[in-house]
Structure 1
Amino acid sequence: MTDPGTEPQGPTIRDRRRIDPETLQVREPQPEAAAPAAEAVEGEVADAAAPAAEAPAVDPQLAALEQSLSERTLDLQRLQAEYVNYKRRVDRDREVSRAAGVESVLRDLLAVLDDVRSAREHGELTGAFKAVGEGVEKVTARHGLTSFGEAGEPFDPQVHEALMHAYAEDVTEPTCVQVLQVGYRVGERVLRPARVAVAEPAAPSDDQSSSEQS
C-alpha cells in the first residue's frame, strides 16, 4: 500500500494545450513556466560575476621583489653599456699610442734609409752593408713605410717641398723635374715630404706679350 503522506513517484504530465478540451475555452498562460527560466538566468549572471569578486589579492612582498629585480636589471644593463664604451675607448687609445710609437721609430730610421738609397745609386751597396741595408728596408716596409716622389709628377705642396725653382717650356703646370730627396709616408700620413726641384711654364717674353696685345 502507498503511504498517504508521500507523493506518488513517476513522470509528471502537464497539459500545455491552449484550448480546454472540455470547455473549449482559451486557457490563460501558466506563469510558473517562466519562473525556472528567470532563475536560470539569474544563476548564470551570478556565476559570471563570481570570478571577478573572488580575484586573488596581490602579495606586497612579491611586488616589492619584482620591482627590485627590475631596478637591478636596469643597473646591470647600464653597467654593461659603460663597460663596452670604456673598452672601445681603451682599444682606440691603445691603437693610437702604438701607431705613434711606430711612426717615431720609423722617423728616426729615415736617415739610415737615405744612406742605403744613396749607396745603392752609387753602386756602393755591397757585402755586409748590403745585407744590413736591405734588412732595414724590409723591416720598415713591414710596418707600412713607403717612399714617394718621382721626376715628372705634378707638384703638390701637400707632399712636396720645393727646394729649387725654374721655368721650362716643355711643362704645362708646376712639375717636379728633379727629386733631391724622396719622401716617406705611413698609410696616408706623410712622415717627410719629398724635396724636389720645380719647373713652371715659361713666362711669355716681352715680344710675345706685345704681339698678343696688338
Structure 2
Amino acid sequence: MSTPNEQDRPPGANGAPAEGGEVDLQAALQAAEVRALESRDLYMRALAEMENIRKRASRDVEQAHKYAVDKFANDLVGVKDSLELGLLAAGDAQTLRAGTEATLKLLAKAFEKNGLTEIDPLGEPFNPELHEAMAMQPSAEHVPDSVTQVVQKGYQLNGRLLRPARVIVAKAP
C-alpha cells in the first residue's frame, strides 16, 4: 500500500516523470500558452470594440442634442420670413392684421407638425397637472373649480407639459 504522498507524485523513480511525460508537459504548457495568447488577443479586441462603441454612442448623443430642434427650426424660418414680409408691406392696420394672422397660422402649423399643442382650458374643470391657478374668484354663473379666464395659454410637447396654462378659477360665491 502506498502513502498519500506517494499517490500525489507523478509516476517514475523518485517522483521524476515517466519517460515521455516531460514531452507531454511541454506540449501541454505550449498549448496553454497559445490559448492564453489567443484569449488575451480576443480580450484586447473586445476592449477596443467596446471603446469604439462608447465613442460612437457619445458622438451620436452629442449630434442628437445639437440637432434635436432642426425640424422645428426649419418650420420657424418660414414664420420669420412671413413676419419680415409683413413689416415691409405694412401700409395700413388692416394689411398688418391680415399679415399677422397669416403668420400666426404658419406658427400654429409649425407647432402642430412638431407635436407642440396649446392648452386653452376656458370653461374646463381646473386640472393642477396642466393648469396653474393665479386666483380664485367667486362666481354664480360658473361651476365651482372650473376655469373662468385664461391669463396665459399653456403648452405640451408630445404630451409632456412645457408650460402650464395660467388661469383664474371659479369658486362658490
TM-score by length of 2: 0.56
**Residue 77 of structure 1 pairs with residue 49 of structure 2:** no
The verdict on how the C-alpha distance between 1:159 and 1:90 changes in structure 2, with shifts beyond 3 A counting, is farther
The verdict on how the C-alpha distance between 1:129 and 1:91 changes in structure 2, with shifts beyond 3 A counting, is same
| Mapping of residues 139-154 of structure 1, within 5 Å | 139-154=110-125
Pick aligned residue for 1:197 from 143, 161, 168: 168
Mapped to 1, the partners of 2:48 and 2:130 lie a distance apart of: 46
Deviation of 1:176 (Å): 0.9
| Mapping of residues 34-53 of structure 1, within 5 Å | none
**Residue 175 of structure 1 pairs with residue 146 of structure 2:** yes
Mapped to 2, the partners of 1:66 and 1:160 lie a distance apart of: 67
Which segments of 5 or more consecutive residues in structure 1 lack a partner in the other structure?
1-52, 110-122, 203-214
Deviation of 1:194 (Å): 1.3
Mapped to 1, the partners of 2:55 and 2:69 lie a distance apart of: 21
| Mapping of residues 1-214 of structure 1, within 5 Å | 57=24, 58=27, 61-99=30-68, 127-169=98-140, 171-172=143-144, 174-202=145-173
The verdict on how the C-alpha distance between 1:124 and 1:135 changes in structure 2, with shifts beyond 3 A counting, is same
Aligned residues: 137
% identity of equivalent residues: 26
Mapped to 1, the partners of 2:167 and 2:55 lie a distance apart of: 46
The verdict on how the C-alpha distance between 1:99 and 1:86 changes in structure 2, with shifts beyond 3 A counting, is same
Deviations 1:34-63, CA, capped at 9 Å, x for gaps: xxxxxxxxxxxxxxxxxxx76863065554
Q: Secondary structure of the equivalent of 1:95?
A: helix
Deviation of 1:146 (Å): 1.1
| Amino acid corresponding to residue 56 of structure 2 in structure 1 | K
Deviations 1:6-29, CA, capped at 9 Å, x for gaps: xxxxxxxxxxxxxxxxxxxxxxxx
Mapped to 2, the partners of 1:164 and 1:104 lie a distance apart of: 36
The verdict on how the C-alpha distance between 1:200 and 1:83 changes in structure 2, with shifts beyond 3 A counting, is farther
Mapped to 2, the partners of 1:141 and 1:130 lie a distance apart of: 16
TM-score by length of 1: 0.47
Cα-Cα RMSD: 4.1
Deviation of 1:166 (Å): 0.7
Deviation of 1:124 (Å): 8.5
Deviation of 1:73 (Å): 0.4
Which segments of 5 or more consecutive residues in structure 2 lack a partner in the other structure?
1-18, 80-93
Mapped to 2, the partners of 1:189 and 1:104 lie a distance apart of: 19
Contact in 1 for aligned 2:118/2:155 (Cα 8 Å): yes
